[in-house]
């Protein structure tokens, strides 16, 4: 068992860290304040391979591993968690087309997603089906060479801005076997969007409802066979959960680093905060939780790369643990900063806001516990 990263993995990590420091970190606070979707910065990331990290090379992908992706998203999120999280969702949707789409579909969509000339969104959640995703109601009725879509998707990152929407829709009976996956292009007649949601965090990525009213989508835009959509969505979420977990690692690491530096210079009662044993122990616990979470994420990524039978179990474990730990570390760092941590002059409050939703999306952490329990107990 080797816990050391390969030379290639370290090079990828260094590249992501340099990019994040140069193109994301200097602007993250202003993007958050002004709710700017940083198109140019993301396309600059795509130019060095971050637009289709684990898509195949023949359509412009980087063909990297899930472990490589975890390293990249930790580095990006340490600079700008919100933007990193959107890039992770774009990558998940892009991979689904590349992995399960036919050759014509792959070659039509993935090259422009890889460069981020086009942006992608993942559309599973609906107003009435969140954790119970298999109960989704958006229906696609076959009409010759097209499907006619009616329904809506909720809380869609990139909603109204993305060019490509990878949508899970009902083409058959109730339950998971009646769900298929369709790629819906922006500009499709009958496709519209709700108002931009006002959110606690994730302000650099737009979020809106996606609405279908007799929207006609070519059958050629189907990803996989009819009835395979739920399984495809779940496969996408295995990797998506690791990516979001890695984003929590990055935010937590940034907050821990900031808290350590603050404790070395902030003085109370004639001593620096770093000299108080009670606070030393809190930092020790933060660092330990972060390292444990990172090991879980990297192990799960390795199992996913190997297509191991227990990959889904470990992805759920890693997502549950890392997102809970990540938010807790950000919160603890804010406490160590005291009143200063509550001010927007310092980045802690932004990381706290941006990581809170990680415990909800890509499957709530309660659903992660359900997945884990079912795997362990055969329920």
For position 124, which CATH number holds?
A: 2.40.110.10
Q: How many domains does one find in the chain?
A: 3
In a domain, 197, yes or no: yes
136's tokens: 């989704």
Write the DSSP symbol of residue 41.
Answer: H
Are residue 154 and residue 15 in the same domain, yes or no? no
Interaxial angle between packed helices 277-305 and 66-79, expressed in degrees from 0 to 180 and rounded to the nearest 10: 140
Q: Domain for residue 266, yes or no?
A: yes
Of all residues in the chain, the percent with pLDDT exceeding 70 is: 99
pTM for this one?
0.96
pLDDT tens digits along 19-47: 999 999 999 999 999 999 999 999 999 99
Q: Is residue 17 part of a domain?
A: yes
Tell me how crowded residue 6 is: count the other CB atoms within 10 A of its CB: 11
Same domain, 242 and 351: yes
pLDDT(1) > 80: no
Active site residues: 362
Tell me what pLDDT residue 2 has.
Answer: 80
Instruction: Identify whether residues 332 and 236 lie together within a single domain.
Output: yes
Nearest to 51 by CA among 112, 106, 99: 112
Alpha carbons 191 and 209: distance in angstroms, whole number: 11
What is the token pair recorded at 296? 């879980």
Q: What is the CA 343 to chain-centroid distance, rounded?
A: 26
Q: Is the dihedral of CA 210, 216, 218, 224 positive or negative?
A: positive
| Full domain range(s) for residue 328 | 230-377
Strands 120-123 and 164-170: parallel
Mean pLDDT of 91-96: 98
Among 327, 329, 307, 321, residue whose Cα is nearest residue 369: 321
Summarised one tens digit per residue, pLDDT across range 300-344 is 999 999 999 999 999 999 999 999 999 999 999 999 999 999 999
pLDDT tens digit string along 353-363? 999 999 999 99
User: Do 220 and 234 have their domain in common?
Assistant: no
User: Are 220 and 243 in the same domain?
Assistant: no
Task: Among 225, 257, 291, identify where a domain stops.
Answer: 225
Q: What is the pLDDT of residue 378?
A: 87
Domain-embedded: residue 2: no
Residues 253 and 195 reside in one and the same domain: no
Distance in angstroms (rounded) separating the CA atoms of residues 170 and 177 = 9
Q: Provide mean pLDDT across the span 4-19.
A: 97
Indicate whether 219 and 234 sit together in one domain. Answer: no
Q: Which of 225, 250, 277 is the last residue of a domain?
A: 225
Q: What is the structure's pLDDT at 3?
A: 87
> Which two tokens mark 170?
């009902």
């Amino acid at each position: 068992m080797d816990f050391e990263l390969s030379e290639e993995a370290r090079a990828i990590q260094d590249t992501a860290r340099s990019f994040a420091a140069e193109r994301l970190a200097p602007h993250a606070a202003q993007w958050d304040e002004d709710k700017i979707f940083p198109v140019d910065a993301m396309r600059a990331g795509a130019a060095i391979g971050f637009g289709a990290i684990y898509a195949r090379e023949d359509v412009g992908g980087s063909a990297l591993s899930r472990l490589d992706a975890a390293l990249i998203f930790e580095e990006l999120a340490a600079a700008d968690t919100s933007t990193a999280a959107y890039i992770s969702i774009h990558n998940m949707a892009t991979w689904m087309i590349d992995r399960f789409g036919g050759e014509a579909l792959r070659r039509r969509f993935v090259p422009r997603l890889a460069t981020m000339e086009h942006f992608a969104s993942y559309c599973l959640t609906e107003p009435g089906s969140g954790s119970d995703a298999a109960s989704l109601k958006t229906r696609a009725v076959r009409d010759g060479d097209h499907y006619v879509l009616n329904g809506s998707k909720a809380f869609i990152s990139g909603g109204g801005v993305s060019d490509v929407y990878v949508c899970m829709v009902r083409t058959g009976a109730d339950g998971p076997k009646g769900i298929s996956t369709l790629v819906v292009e922006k500009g499709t007649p009958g496709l519209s969007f709700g108002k931009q949601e006002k959110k606690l965090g994730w302000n650099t990525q737009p979020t809106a409802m996606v609405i279908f009213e007799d929207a006609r989508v070519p059958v050629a835009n189907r990803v996989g066979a009819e009835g395979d959509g739920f399984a495809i969505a779940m496969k996408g979420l295995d990797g998506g959960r690791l990516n979001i977990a890695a984003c929590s690692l990055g935010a937590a690491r940034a907050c821990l680093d900031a808290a350590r530096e603050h404790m070395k210079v902030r003085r109370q009662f004639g001593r620096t905060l770093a000299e108080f044993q009670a606070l030393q122990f809190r930092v020790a616990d933060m660092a330990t939780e972060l390292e444990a979470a990172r090991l879980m994420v990297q192990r799960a990524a390795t199992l996913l790369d190997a297509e191991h039978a227990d990959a889904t179990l470990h992805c759920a474990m890693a997502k549950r643990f890392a997102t809970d730990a990540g938010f807790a570390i950000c919160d603890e760092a804010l406490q160590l900063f005291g009143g200063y941590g509550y001010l927007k002059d310092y980045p802690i409050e932004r990381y706290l806001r941006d990581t809170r939703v990680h415990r909800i999306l890509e499957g709530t952490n309660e659903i992660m516990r359900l997945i884990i329990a079912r795997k362990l107990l055969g329920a």
